[in-house]
Structure 1
Amino acid sequence: MNSVVVVESPAKAKTINKYLGKDYHVLASFGHVRDLPPKDGSVRPDEDFAMSWLVEGRGEQRLKEIAAALKGADKLILATDPDREGEAISWHLTEELKRRKALNGIEVERVVFNEVTKSAVLDAMRHPRALDKELVEAYLARRALDYLVGFTLSPVLWRKLPGSRSAGRVQSVALRLICQREEEIEAFKPQEYWTVEGKFRTAAGQIFPARLTELDGKKLEKFDLANEAAAQRAVATVTGGEPFTVRSVERKTVRRNPFPPFTTSTLQQEASRKLGLGASRTMRVAQRLYEGVDLGGETVGLITYMRTDGVQLSQEAIAAARKLVAAEHGARYVPSEPRQYKSTAKNAQEAHEAIRPSDISRKPSDVARYLEADEARLYDLIWKRTVASQMASAELDQVGIDIVSKDGKAVMRATGSVILFDGFLALYQEDRDDPSDEEENGGRLPNLTERDGVTPTEVTPEQHFTQPPPRYSEASLVKRLEELGIGRPSTYASIIQVLQDRDYVKIDKKRFVPEDRGRVVTAFLESFFNRYVEYNFTADLENQLDEISGGRIDWKTVLRDFWRDFSAAIAGTKDLSITQVIDELDKELGPHFFPERADGSDPRVCPGCQAGRLSLKLGKFGAFIGCSNYPDCRYTRRLGVSNGEDGSDVDMGPKLLGQDPATNLPVSLRKGPYGTYIQLGEAVPGAPKPKKKKKKAKGKDEEAGKANGTAPADTTPEPPKPKRVSLPRGLSPADVTLDKALSLLSLPRLLGPHPEDQLPIVAGIGRFGPYIKHGDRFKSLGKDDDVLTIGMNRAVALLAEPSTGRGGRGGAPGKKIGEHPADGQPITLHAGRYGQYVKHGKINATLPKDIEPDQLTVDQAVALIEARAQAKGVKRGGAKAKAKAKPANDDAALAEPKAPRIKAAASATAKPPAKAKAPAKAKAKSKAKTKAKAKPKARTEPAASDTDGE
């Protein structure tokens, strides 16, 4: 029997192919072979949510390969991933192959396995099943919802909010979380409080710390010591209360249980905290560990499937973990009963095992030499978490000692914690994302009993301020989304990436900071589509999708209910004017952008004219804050909270830095549509712009005049333009001084002659940033180079480096991936200005983000090159494909002969045929007709989908 097995990736296909015999032919689909076209009408609610699917370049090639392999085969085995997305890939393959009549007489089976090991794969082959209809319908419902939200709501944003990109069903809710946290931080007002700390000495000479907890018979609350004066009075009470004695000693033993094995969400969180890996990077590395790694000739999947909400382990894994713990740590570290874990997620996905090593006896030290650095670190993390989950609890001795003054007015408390038995802590400790989560336990305390005397050696007041809630990190955002039941852990990585790609958020010190564009989009959605960014609504919709996968709700019923209300909300914005949008956003964001000032002055008074009112404005580059007296007052500033000091962090209006001593012209800092810049001088007010001269036939008089120099000339001098220079990257507007501005305005500066050819080397700032120039060659400066201080030695070294620009001269040779099967020419991998790309002949194809350069195969490279060639209309070999216009029918071709081409006469005396003047009315009619035909180009930017390739 000859069977064709289809999996998602080449790596997985390579691994499984080694487990199966010669009767099996394993192929990769490279994920989905078809998807909804990114245009209107792909999902049609009026046709009961009918969907159109499109097979694109890479999918077409994969389908042809699979169809060719099926010729003469008896069976098609679909072995895609064991989740909803894997089921959908198998369904798409089946439907498309049926449509192409490639499955006639061929049996189709579906197999699933949770780990890519020989035993698991062979066992799955012995227990095939049919496609899971409910899982497919859950996929269809989710895909339709994401499409309808993205492609219906995004055009509303484009029309009503210039500068916005897209909206998404889960993406917009995640953005709202980030924006709301930022609002909490900006509205936060720190509150001062004080504590009194002391150090005490025992009779045996041991020193230990304590804190004042009771004063004058009253238990101290956090803000009872509100200022320094109150703290000093408390210090006087403590120091005047000697001697001190121990009033009570409290001891208790507490147990800390190990954490459950990893789910997708907890793996992303812990990898972010411990390893510094983002969610996308974590999932890519885990994918490689799951699909198979070559361990010295044996290819094996090192971990189980990495997209799961389950925390349970198989009995075999539990037994293996307990056996290993006993051997490595001793019998005391093995609990009396195996530990069983149950998922607490609100919307736990399909029942999968937790993420664990496929073979627990395979220690990280055994495989580290076969893995890349991130792979080894992630495997170590997964292995330790799994083994620790089956270890004994840790035991801690917690001690609290109350020390009272002689007069009873002051009570100091000392706390300590000592590990009596480390248990699972011997192998694994979980990191905390929020420092406030840390347990406030001190170290070991001296062995004291009641009525023991102690002596204060130091009593000091300490000032504190309350802290705002921290910004979300990737770990804490994933945790919060999971707590709210929003989205799926398997999609969090793609959602976070989309928010960054759309410039809605940025990452600063590993924390999410909302951009201006993201804040305005969130305010717009909260004002006009509040229901669809509510956390409960999104979570309830997720629950309905779970009900679909369980076969308890019809998927089209969910779509009908959603679309009825959503389409009505969209229709309600049809007549919404830009003015209404601005007014609503100004009302919504006003308290945020114009907070009350400490001096009581009006935060909306324009600092430019002192008469206008500041409010939110919308321009073609997005939202900003401007004056109501425009155009008389042109004061603007970028979005941000005004601090009332005209700070450069928020000011977009001209900021005078001083005068240039050489020219006495003003030097100012300004904000333009392309960033912040420095300007020397001012544009002449009311100066006319030079008009473009219309081309017209030259008359004899004009020709003659020009020939003898008597033609009238335009002697009006053009007004001088002020000199401008952009701020180099890394230089904050707040750090720009007059001296720094004058140095930048003096660019380009001469560094000196090149030692080889004596041609000058100059440094300057151009449209692409800081550069050095040697002859006709330009070289961009590195991120650590300063255009104002770079010297000759560094410049010569930079010029000696090979250029890495795509297709540029002097580019570094690429790494050979292999040879193209069509012509045997090499395929090479290069690092370009915009990232990694593969090259074959004249075709360059960018590597997608989900493909690691070091894991790139020849098949993947060929697929990328073929897709790029089709997109460019290039034949194999590099020649451009010529499109030939084909007539509708032969009769039409005969009836309308081709117009002859008129060649220009060789004689210089030949005159062109006279052109009759069209009547004025005919001209106007022709012009109006041409104008009517010109339609604005439709925007085809695809909206973000909340579903990634699971």
Structure 2
Amino acid sequence: AQQLYEGIDLGSGPVGLITYMRTDSVALAGEAIAELRGFIEQRYGKDKLPDSPRQYKTKSKNAQEAHEAIRPTSCLRVPEEIRGHLSEEQFRLYQLIWQRTVACQMIHALIDTISVDLAAEPTSFFRATGSTVRDPGFLAVYEEGLDDQKVEKENPLPPLTEGEAIQLNDIEATQHFTEPPPRYSEATLVKTLEEYGIGRPSTYASIISTLLAREYVEIDRLRFIPTDIGRIVNKFLTEHFTQYVDYDFTANLEDQLDEISRGEKTWEPVLDHFWQPFSKLVDEKMDNVQRSDVLQARELGLDPKTGKPVSVRMGKFGPFVQIGSRDDEDKPIFASLRAGMKMDAVSLEEALELFKLPRALGETTEGQTISASIGRFGPYLRYGTNFVSLKKDDDPYTVTLERALQLIEEKKVSDLAKIIRDLGDGIQILKGRWGPFLASGKIKAKIPKDKTPDTLTLEEAQALIAEATPAKKEAKKTSKKAAEAKPEPTEAAVDTEEKPAKKKAAPKKSATEDTLKTKTPVKKTATKSAATKASGTATKTPRKKTGT
């Protein structure tokens, strides 16, 4: 869109093809409407023009309408005629903008729907329904997509007269089920938010990105599908924070924020009116709602081997199944759900299948045990202390020993190809994405620009690895932990440290005043205790209060 706005070279220099695109306006300039009506009359006929120009108004509140609607700078630049100067993406976007702009100033489409009852017996009949387009109107230019909705294309019916005998060619029996409404796409979600007055044009993108970033939903065929964590959060909020997820509450708060932005209200009363009851409700839920009530653990049955309950629940890293409970002597056994499995649909048999991992496959030629399992980063093979990621088509539950050996061999070949030079002492020069580098275990070091893998010596490499080793950071962490672990000074310790001060002043009273003087470095709690003790032994109230 930015490229179309800034300009495309059509042979005689860059030409801006569309108007400013960062706008929510649906209004068109008068000269643009006049050009569109002239173009439609010339290309499609005068009968395709409405009696008066069509005017549109936005339904969005606080819409950015400083500019007119996104439209072609000239409808005379037909997409097909300039296609050779555009990339495929540029062409498709320009075609969409051009078609919608032209169609919005054309007449409605007229479609006739006809139903015919075919008498088979005196007590029954068949019905055929069809539709014919009497006048395509704007459909001659643009027909909006139906967003994955399954719509049967109705065949046009031939001319028929009442009482006419129709020849029967075939009877086809079909069954239809009532289907739920399609799930939201980005476009339909934004449209629904507009209808309820939730959000503003400037916040729609952040709403959608938050849903995806927190993994409340996932996108499947351009549709939002709720995840297990999304269902749990939704249920928790609707049960415990009902008034705050209500459509009217959100829309009303949006209106108040709009009034604040326009200077019609001050923000303090609005925020106070929201925060006081909300804060109390949060404190109440913190005291009364248990974690187990929120995570929606569902018992699936009993494990046939141990007789312990098998349940599915939500954890820190996603949904998992569990054999046993925390009350048992033995610790429960856990297994993560596989990709595509849902908490509310997993069965006992499917859950028990998950505990077959890690699955032993055999041994390598060197005698290392091979096993398949699923980790935090996906399915993998393990042989000895080494790991190999499984490919997309490999399943850890069904992968064979032969396939495992093949993947291990490919991994070894890949690792060898990365080694440029082995310097010894566990130091190697490896190929990296940004060039060769040194590696010694998990420690990596850059190779200086004045050195090459061929000329670098072992001593130089050892020095570079030593520099890259985070020894100083570890020392800092250790000293910090030691400082944190150091016990707080007690009253006795304070008294012990202050004994030299008593040599200067023999009287007890002076010693007390001096004690209060030297307590500045001690923490507040210790100082108060020492001060209390000192005041308890003194015969008069000390004049100096710097210690307290």
TM-score (norm 1): 0.40
| Conserved 8 A contact 2:324-2:331 | no
| Conserved 8 A contact 2:364-2:370 | no
| Conserved 8 A contact 1:520-1:623 | no
Deviation, structure 1 residue 745: 3.6
| Conserved 8 A contact 1:582-1:618 | no
Match for residue 325 of structure 2? 629
| Conserved 8 A contact 1:481-1:487 | yes
Match for residue 562 of structure 1? 274
| Conserved 8 A contact 1:606-1:614 | no
Q: 2:414 aligns with which of 772, 792, 810?
A: 772
Q: 1:582 aligns with which of 266, 281, 291?
A: 291
Does the alignment pair 1:603 with 2:266? no
Between the two proteins, the alignment pairs up a number of residues equal to 428
Q: Distance in 2 between matches of 1:772 and 1:294?
A: 47
Identical pairs, percent = 38
Q: Distance in 1 between matches of 2:223 and 2:394?
A: 21
Q: 1:418 to 1:475 in 2, by over 3 A?
A: same
Q: 2:126 aligns with which of 412, 423, 440?
A: 412
Deviation, structure 1 residue 430: 0.6
Q: 1:808 aligns with which of 435, 452, 471?
A: 435
Q: Aligned letter for 1:610?
A: G
Q: Distance in 2 between matches of 1:553 and 1:483?
A: 25
Deviation, structure 1 residue 301: 4.2
**What per-residue deviation string (whole Å, max 9, x for no partner) do you get for residues 177-231 of structure 1?**
xxxxxxxxxxxxxxxxxxxxxxxxxxxxxxxxxxxxxxxxxxxxxxxxxxxxxxx
Deviation, structure 1 residue 463: 3.6
**What per-residue deviation string (whole Å, max 9, x for no partner) do you get for residues 625-657 of structure 1?**
423435444143436334425337x96423586
Does the alignment pair 1:511 with 2:223? yes
Q: 2:410 aligns with which of 763, 769, 773?
A: 763
Match for residue 402 of structure 2? 743
Q: Please state whether the residue corresponding to 1:355 is helix, strand or coil.
A: coil
Q: Aligned letter for 2:34?
A: A
Q: Please state whether the residue corresponding to 1:553 is helix, strand or coil.
A: coil
Q: Distance in 1 between matches of 2:249 and 2:278?
A: 12
Q: Distance in 2 between matches of 1:744 and 1:659?
A: 10
Q: 1:658 to 1:584 in 2, by over 3 A?
A: same
Does the alignment pair 1:483 with 2:195? yes
Q: Distance in 2 between matches of 1:666 and 1:465?
A: 52
Q: Distance in 1 between matches of 2:304 and 2:207?
A: 40
Q: Distance in 2 between matches of 1:926 and 1:611?
A: 44
Deviation, structure 1 residue 612: 2.4
The 5 Å alignment of 1:863-874 reads: none
Q: Please state whether the residue corresponding to 2:35 is helix, strand or coil.
A: helix
Q: Please state whether the residue corresponding to 1:386 is helix, strand or coil.
A: helix
| Conserved 8 A contact 1:614-1:626 | yes
Does the alignment pair 1:435 with 2:149? yes
| Conserved 8 A contact 1:291-1:301 | yes
More RCO (CA 8 Å, sep 6+): 1
| Conserved 8 A contact 1:307-1:489 | no
The 5 Å alignment of 1:547-946 reads: 547-572=259-284, 580-586=289-295, 589-590=296-297, 594=298, 603-606=300-303, 609-614=306-311, 616=313, 618-619=315-316, 621-630=317-326, 631-638=330-337, 640-644=343-347, 646-647=349-350, 652-655=354-357, 660=362, 670-677=373-380, 726-732=389-395, 736-737=397-398, 740-747=399-406, 762-764=409-411, 772-777=414-419, 806-809=433-436, 927-929=485-487
| Conserved 8 A contact 1:364-1:379 | yes
Deviation, structure 1 residue 482: 2.8
Q: 2:257 aligns with which of 545, 553, 571?
A: 545
**What per-residue deviation string (whole Å, max 9, x for no partner) do you get for residues 827-854 of structure 1?**
xxxxxxxxxxxxxx99xxxxxxxxxxxx
Q: 1:667 to 1:677 in 2, by over 3 A?
A: same
Q: Please state whether the residue corresponding to 1:475 is helix, strand or coil.
A: helix
Does the alignment pair 1:357 with 2:72? yes
Q: Aligned letter for 2:320?
A: F
The 5 Å alignment of 1:147-162 reads: none
The 5 Å alignment of 1:361-510 reads: 361-365=76-80, 367-406=82-121, 408-436=122-150, 438=151, 440=152, 442-510=154-222
Q: Aligned letter for 1:611?
A: K
Match for residue 458 of structure 2? none
Q: 1:646 to 1:315 in 2, by over 3 A?
A: same
| Conserved 8 A contact 1:656-1:666 | no
Q: 1:339 to 1:528 in 2, by over 3 A?
A: same
Bigger radius of gyration among the two: 2
Deviation, structure 1 residue 726: 4.1
Q: Distance in 2 between matches of 1:328 and 1:926?
A: 82
Q: 1:605 to 1:410 in 2, by over 3 A?
A: same
Q: Please state whether the residue corresponding to 1:399 is helix, strand or coil.
A: strand
Q: Aligned letter for 1:928?
A: K
Q: Please state whether the residue corresponding to 1:433 is helix, strand or coil.
A: coil
Q: Structure 2: 5+ residue runs without aligned partners?
A: 421-430, 438-447, 450-481, 489-548
Q: Distance in 2 between matches of 1:678 and 1:608?
A: 27
Q: 1:464 to 1:606 in 2, by over 3 A?
A: farther
Deviation, structure 1 residue 614: 1.9
Deviation, structure 1 residue 520: 4.3
Q: 1:665 to 1:603 in 2, by over 3 A?
A: farther
| Conserved 8 A contact 1:653-1:671 | no
The 5 Å alignment of 1:25-44 reads: none
The 5 Å alignment of 1:279-298 reads: 286-293=1-8
Deviation, structure 1 residue 321: 0.6
Q: Aligned letter for 2:94?
A: Y
TM-score (norm 2): 0.65
| Conserved 8 A contact 2:361-2:401 | no
Q: 1:398 to 1:455 in 2, by over 3 A?
A: same
Deviation, structure 1 residue 378: 1.0
Deviation, structure 1 residue 420: 2.4
Q: Distance in 1 between matches of 2:166 and 2:405?
A: 70
Q: Please state whether the residue corresponding to 1:513 is helix, strand or coil.
A: strand
Q: Aligned letter for 1:535?
A: Y
Q: 1:395 to 1:612 in 2, by over 3 A?
A: closer
Q: Please state whether the residue corresponding to 1:303 is helix, strand or coil.
A: coil
Q: Distance in 1 between matches of 2:290 and 2:372?
A: 31
Deviation, structure 1 residue 528: 4.7
| Conserved 8 A contact 1:349-1:546 | no
**What per-residue deviation string (whole Å, max 9, x for no partner) do you get for residues 747-797 of structure 1?**
555xxxxxxxxxxxx4028xxxxx73444449xxxxxxxxxxxxxxxxxxx
Q: Aligned letter for 2:394?
A: L
Deviation, structure 1 residue 433: 0.8
| Conserved 8 A contact 1:397-1:419 | yes
Deviation, structure 1 residue 391: 1.3
Deviation, structure 1 residue 325: 0.7
| Conserved 8 A contact 1:635-1:652 | no
Q: 1:340 aligns with which of 55, 74, 95?
A: 55
Q: Distance in 2 between matches of 1:372 and 1:505?
A: 33
